[in-house]
Amino acid sequence: MSNRWSLVIPVKTLVAAKTRLAAATGPHRTRLAVAVACDTVSAALSCPVVERVIVVTADPAAAGPLAALGAEVVPDPDRGLNTALRTGAAHAARLAPGSPVGALQADLPALRPAELAVVLASAAEFDQAFVPDALDVGTTFYGVRPGVPFTPRFGGESRARHLAGGAKELCPDGIESVRRDVDTPDDLRAARALGLGPHTAAVVEELWPAP
């Protein structure tokens, strides 16, 4: 049994990704979405307690760059976010049946490996656990111990659904980068204040140069 995690990161078809950023990003929306996913995956792979990152996607525009970073890419069955996550988790269980498995949102461009390590160490204490997003409405991380059923409840007001499903809510100090997902221009500004990863920073600096 390993205490290093398999993390599943779902990357939706980029034509549909980040629709709430469309007005601000225009034709650069896909490029920004790829950059954000690349920074999320890079940070996760750099976390010392992460053994592997499994990306679930149907989009070759994302699959290529993310595989080049070291992620394992599996096809998205295109039956919704939680089905995609369960598909990735099943792949992880085949590769490493004795490892804990987590789901991580793909839109965490400020993610810090050390902060993710704090979350994973906390999650390892519980059968199932999750991290709420910065608004305390959604969820950015959900994980289970080895042998515990993997039952993600992402989408919409997922914080309440994860609580209702018996998952332990994790809110230790100092994990702001794990909670800061990006759906809107305001979210992106908040992530920029935390410090964006290099892929996202390059795109953002091109689109909105710092004063």
Phi and psi angles of residue 183, each rounded to the nearest 5 degrees, phi first? -120, -25
66: domain CATH number is 3.90.550.10
| Mean confidence (pLDDT) of the chain | 94
- Give, in order, the Cα–Cα distances in Å from 123 to each of 58, 66, 104, 156, 174: 29, 25, 13, 22, 15
Domain that holds residue 100: 5-207
pTM: 0.95
pLDDT above 90 covers a percentage of the chain that reads 84
Q: Are 177 and 15 in contact (CB under 8 A)?
A: no
pLDDT per residue over 47-56, tens digit each? 999 999 999 9
- In the predicted model, residues of the chain with pLDDT beneath 50 are none
* 139 assigned to a ligand binding site: yes
Residue that is written with structure tokens 């549909």 in the block: 16
* 64 assigned to a ligand binding site: no
Number of domains composing the chain: 1
Q: How far apart are CA 45 and CA 6, in angstroms?
A: 10
Q: What pLDDT does residue 20 have?
A: 72
